[in-house]
Structures are given as C-alpha cells and as structure tokens.
Chain A
Amino acid sequence: MIKKEKNDFATYYDNSSAKKRQKGGTIVSYIVLIILSIIWVFPIFLLILTSFREEPGSFTPYFLPKGYTLDNYIRLFTETDQFYYGKWFMNTLFVAIITCIISTFFVLSVSYTMSRLRFKMRKPLMNIALILGMFPAFMSMIAVYYILKGFGITQSLAALILVYSCSSGLGFYIAKGFFDTVPKSFDEAAILDGATRWQVFWKITIPMSKPIIIYTILMSFMGPWVDFIFASVIMGDKYENYTIALGLFKMLEREFISTYYTRFAAGGVLVSIPIAILFIATQKFYVSGITSGAVKG
C-alpha cells in the first residue's frame, strides 16, 4: 500500500509525463461528458421527435419517423370529444396557483414559528411532524377520499386544492433550516424598539428570506403539475376536471395509447416547457434551499 503511494508520488512529480497525463485526462473527461450528455438528452430528444411524428401508434418497427407534422399539437386543443387538453391546462394552473399561495403561507408560518418562537410544545410538535413524515403518503389515500366524500366535494378542483395544500405545513424542515441561519440580532433589536413579533416576522424576516420563499413557491407550484395518484383517486372518471398529469397518464392507457401516443408526446412537450423554464431559472434557489437545510440539519 505504502510502496504504491510512493510510486504515484514519483510519477506525479515527473513533470513531462504529468503534463501529458493531464492533457490526456482532459480529453477523456470531455469524451465521458459528451457520452453522458447524449444518454441524458436522448429520451428528451425522442419525446420531441415523437411529438412531431406524422404516423400514429405507440410502437413503430423503425426508429426515425417517416413524416413530420404539427397536427399532434393542433389536435390536442381542437379535438375535445374525449380529452380536453386546454381545459386540463387551465385546471392545473388554477389548482397550482391556489395551492401555491396556501402552502407557501403555511410553510413559512410553521417554519418561522419553529425556528424563532419559543414555546412549550415546540420540540414535541417538531417530533410529531418528523414521525408523520415517515408514514407512506398512499397509506391514507383512501381515508382522505372518504373525508372528501363526507364534505361532498369529490371529483372537484376544490378537493384537489385541499389535499395538496392542507398537509403542506409538515414540510417545514428546509425553510426552518434557512430561518435558523438568519441572524437573531435583527429580531432582538426590533423588539427592543417596540415591534411586535408579527411585525418582526412580516417586516424583517420575510423580506430577508427571498431564496427560501422562492424555493417554497416553486416547490408547491410544481406539485400539482406532476402528481397523478391523488388526482386519479379523487377525480375518478370525470375527464373535464382532470389535471395535466392525470390526463396525459390516461392517454397511455391500453384503450387510448395507439391513437393518442403522439399527442401524449406533444402534450408532454408543452407541459415540460414552462416547468423546465421555471426550474432552470430558479435552480440556484432550489440548491440553496436544500443545502442550507442540509448544512444545518
């Protein structure tokens, strides 16, 4: 072991070979990166390719499409006898916006409370939240459905909003980690000057927490766009109230897949564009959200 390391030492400091090795290393790195990029982009490329494919059907006995067309995109919005893509888009947007407002408010209040305010039940509540988070979410799916039925609001968008936003208060850990890093001295100074706790929260902490607010908004906004399980349990067969994810999922069911596969691809491209733009534009906040929580714990 030790002998071998000495060998490495010697070769490393033999200058000429080290330079060569480095140059070779760079080329190898580029080649690896290019191969990996192709693997990662390939499915997305295929998605786009399929969305422009002229001939329908999920499987073709050849790789490249025979003809290209915009028809898949146009028919997504014009043919509404079975599926209502345009309506689904608006549904999802509506649900996402309301959910986003409610859950951002919930998450920020809970995380601020747990980070800054001190009261008897603080630790127990945090532990309970931790414990609740360890139960698989699907376990309570059926019970949630019956509760919504009790309210008489199954198969409606309101039910979806309730399900997405009501439990959001449990996801406070990352935002709490962020608030923990905001210096406490600001609060103390403000309280000495006679500010109430609410004013400290609203006028001092919130304006200083832009990254975490954007992260929270982003996460809660994206939830409804990608969930299809709860949506499918709640909506059943009421097609006009579907969200995008559920609708696209439905298109690939056995009875629809052969006619709708290319349109699924087109719909997938359309829904991916806004999500991708949002994500890429805010990835820096996403990372700082996760890591500020991670560094702190």
Chain B
Amino acid sequence: MTSIDFFFLPWYKKVFIKLGNFFKALGKGLFGFILAIPKGIWMLIKNIGLFFLGLGKTFARGDFATKISFVIMGFGSIVRKQFIKGLLFLSVEIGYFYYMVKTGWNDMLGLKSLGTKQQGWAFDEELGIEILQDGDNSMKFLLFGILSVMVTIAFVTFWRISISSAYETQLIKKKGGKVNNFIDDVKDFFDQKLYKTLLFLPITGVLLFTILPLIYMISIAFTNYDSVHQPPGNLFSWVGIKNFKVMFSSNSVLGSTFFPILIWTIIWAVVATFGNYILGMLLAMLINKKDIKFKAFWRTIFVLSIAVPQFVSLLLMRNLLNNDGAINMLLLDLGLITEKIRFLSDPLLAKFTIVLVNFWVGIPYSMLITTGILMNIPADLYESARIDGASPYVMFKKITLPYMLFVTAPYLITQFIGNLNNFNIIYLLSGGGPSNLDYYQAGHTDLLVTWLYKLTVNSKDYNYASTIGIIVFVLSAVFSLITYRNSKSYNNEEEFQ
C-alpha cells in the first residue's frame, strides 16, 4: 500500500493498520531475541571448535620448543631469548596452579552441590556434648565457584596466547627475521596492539564488578535462595527453572503480583518516555518561537530543575504532596479545596501523581536535548508547507515529529529502557506505596525494579529478585532489538565515518 492509499483510508482503518504494524514490530523483536539465543550458542560452539582446530594445527606444525610450550608456558619464548616474556607466562601458569591446588579446584567442585553440610547441633565425641557445628555456606560456594571458573577461562586465554606467541617467534626465526625483545613488545602495545593496552583495565573492572556479580545473580535465579534458605544457617540448592514457573503461574501470590506490576511498568515506561519527549519538544518549540524574547532566560529556568539533584527535589516533592504537605495546605488556605487530596496515598491518584512529577523531572531534559536539533530542521520545509496551507498541527505531525524521531531514535530507546528501570522516581516519591495487600512485598505503584529492590533488601528473596532481573533484561532486549536492528546507524556504522 502506498502512502497515498493510506492517506485516504477512513480513520479507524488507519488505527488498525498502525496497531498491526506495532504488533508486527513487537513480534519481530521477540522473534529476533529468540533467534539471537541459538545464534549465540552456535557462535560459541563454532568458536570453541575453531579454538581447538587452531590449537591442533599449531601443535602439528610447531617445533620442539613450541610443543613443550603446551605444557610449560613460556618455554618457547625463553628458548628464543625472550626471557621476560617467557618468565611472565611461566609465572601466570605457576600462579594459576597454585590457586587451583589451594582453593580453586574445591571451589569448582562445590558449584555442583552448593554445600552439603548444614549448620546444626552435632555430637562431639571428645567433649561428650552437642556443639554448634559450622555448616557449608552455599552463598560462598556459589560465588567462589563462579570466580574459579572465570579464573580458569582467563588462564586458558593466556595459555592460548602463550602458545601462539611461541609459534609466531618460531616462524620468524625460521624466516631469519629479528625476534622482538621485551622493549619491542612493550612498544608494540602502544602501537599495533594499543587496543589491548587501552582495554585491559576497563575490561578487568567490568569483569570484576559487572560480569562476576551478574553471573552470580543469574545463577541465583535458578536456585532456591529465598527468605527461608538463608546461609549460613541453611543451605540452598539448584532448582532449575522453578522460579520462573512460579513467577508466571497465576495461582501463586508471586504470579498475581508479577502480572499487574509488569503491565504498570510497561504503561509507565511508554507514558513517561513519549510524554516527556513530546511535551519537552513542544516546550522547546514554544521557546524557539521567533517572537519570544529572553530565550536563554526561559531555558535556564527550566534547566534549574535538572540542576538540583533528583534525590533532593524528589524527596521534597514527596513532602509537598503528602496529605499534610505544603500543597494541600496551600490549596486549603486559598480555599480551593475543602478536603485534603490524597496525592500519594490513593492507589489510582498516586499513579497519576507520579507520572506528573516525572513530567516535571523529564520535560526539561528533553527540552534541552531537542532545542538544538529542532533548529537544525531546514526552514524551507516549513516555508513550503505553509505555502501549501498546512496548519501548525499538520506541520508538527508531518515534518517535525518524523524528523525528530529519525534523528533521536537511539536517545528514545535509551530513555525507554531507562524508564523501565526508573528506580529513583518511584522509590523516592511513593516508595512503591500505597501498599497492596494482594501483592507480595509490593505496593500499587511499584515497578519491576523497585519490586526487585524490595525483594532483595526487605525480604531477602534473592532468587525471585534475580528472576525479575532476568525478565527485565528480556523486556529491554526485545524492545531495543525492535528498533536498534533496523536503524541505519547500527547497520551501516562505517558509512558515517
């Protein structure tokens, strides 16, 4: 269907087609996500295969020194007079085996059972009385087990590097070339291999403080580490996908909490993202108008509210909007109302209040972002539209919005994901309340993330918290796949440079 055909359709058909397109995109995103999983697994298998293939080839073609390097790391380097490099490799190997013998191997074995000995009273033969015996700490078993696996993977990577390094020097020697000494190697790390130098520290940081905790928490989603199974008093163990089943079944109290919160989270993210975006754009257009004077002054007024840290402004808002807060007092003083408005304690009103306060927080941001881009829209587009007799509304819909959406699509996606995870505004403003007796550990305005937080901090149901974390991840991934994958800037990255 061409756009002209579409234009002449009656409005309800237009709505149908737009809705259809939306669900098509949603389906595509979901499909893309589901497809990405086997693709990822296939890539992993393929890479492991290639890894061993390369290893086998190196072993077959390597000379004596290279072959020894498979067992004694750095041997090939030392034989070819690269002493410092060789010794570094060797020390990595020694360090790794020392770690494995000392704790690593047991840690890795502990992963399977997560501890067997429960803390409790045991009879001590020597003393002849019952004493409190320390049990296994499942939490530590899991954490150190994962750490040992990560260390092993890092070691295997180093091992592979040492072998290829030995093989490369062997080839250079064979050709009669000059073998790099240590200083040459270091120099290389600032030139051809600069990426390794620049990435080393950031990646170490991410491994330690993002990936390790994340793997740990993802694993916990498959255990029964809840409020009943708390180490060190109790053990927890693997339960497979039971937590997900509980979460998705409508019979359990968790399921009947999860679905309403999920729906509210999505509604919230859509309203907050697009509301802020469009209203902020309108505000920017208002200030950009030709006959408005003191533009910088108006902008600064709105920017002021961003500049005040959120925890100050939101905590203040919470007090202002309280039943006994300043806004109710002001309205009572002015005689506008006779009864206090329950801004944050009425379930439905609280949701509206939060959305409105979020506008207060978010509109200045999108005004700031869109102002500059709005001024970049070619003026002759508007000129010719005006001559064709387009009303301001039509111009906004047909020129401004499409242009802005095209340019700021990535910003919108980040905003959307940010709003799915918008912790601050809910936590500081309503704390998820007013509480709902039908929910498990959650209130009427809780989003998935704030519920996750409450499950972690208040009730220590870590397994359910992690399950929710994974679900939030899937949500974000699906929504971004819908748009990222199709965006030009993602697919044709090189073209822009």
Contact = CB atoms under 8 A, between A and B. Distances in A.
A162 B190 CA distance: 26
B217 interface: yes
B489 interface: yes
A44 B305 contact: yes
Contacts of A6: 389
B307 interface: yes
B360 A39 contact: yes
Contacts of B244: none
Contacts of A290: 369, 411
Contacts of B324: 59, 61
Interface string B463-479: 00110010011001100
Contacts of B194: 113, 117, 196-198, 201
Interface string B169-186: 000000000000000000
Interface string A254-297: 00000001001100100110011101100100111011011111
Interface stretch (B18-26, B106-114, B286-294): B286-294
Given A63-B333, A146-B143, A196-B190, A109 B319 contact: no
A228 to B, nearest CB: 6
A141 interface: yes
A248 B311 contact: yes
A8 B201 CA distance: 63
Interface string B47-77: 0000000000000000000000000000000
A271 B473 contact: no
B198 interface: yes
A58 interface: yes
B320 interface: yes
Contacts of A52: none
Interface stretch (A25-33, A68-76, A79-87): A25-33
A143 B225 CA distance: 13
23 contacts: A32-B286, A37-B301, A40-B301, A43-B320, A46-B316, A46-B326, A61-B329, A63-B330, A63-B333, A140-B210, A143-B217, A146-B143, A170-B206, A184-B497, A229-B453, A268-B312, A279-B303, A287-B371, A291-B372, A293-B411, A296-B496, A297-B410, A297-B488
B389 A12 contact: yes
A29 B292 contact: yes
A280 B316 contact: no
Nearest to B198: A109
Pick the 7 closest A-B CB pairs, nearest first: A297-B489, A169-B202, A9-B389, A139-B469, A143-B213, A166-B205, A276-B307
A41 interface: yes
A227 to B, nearest CB: 9
Contacts of A47: 308, 312-313, 316
Interface string A117-144: 1010010010000111111111111111
A101 interface: no
Given A46-B320, A265-B316, A228 B311 contact: yes
A112 interface: yes
Nearest to A200: B194
Given A109-B198, A113-B195, A134-B480, A295 B311 contact: no
B344 interface: no
Given A167-B206, A197-B192, A268-B316, A143 B216 contact: yes
B476 A272 contact: no
Interface of A: 5-6, 8-9, 12, 22, 26, 29-30, 32-33, 36-37, 39-41, 43-44, 46-47, 50, 58-63, 106, 109-110, 112-113, 117, 119, 122, 125, 130-144, 146-147, 150, 162-163, 165-170, 180-181, 184, 196-198, 201, 225-226, 228-229, 233, 245, 248-249, 252, 261, 264-265, 268, 271-272, 275-277, 279-280, 283, 286-288, 290-291, 293-297
B417 interface: yes
Contacts of B386: 12
B446 to A, nearest CB: 13
B302 to A, nearest CB: 6
B348 interface: no
A125 B487 CA distance: 20
Contacts of B476: 134
A119 B301 CA distance: 47
Interface string B191-211: 110110111011101101111
Nearest to B364: A40
B423 A170 contact: no
A41 B206 contact: no
B315 interface: yes
B449 interface: yes
Given A8-B389, A169-B206, A180 B214 contact: no
A135 B469 contact: yes
Contact of A142 (B202, B448, B462): B462
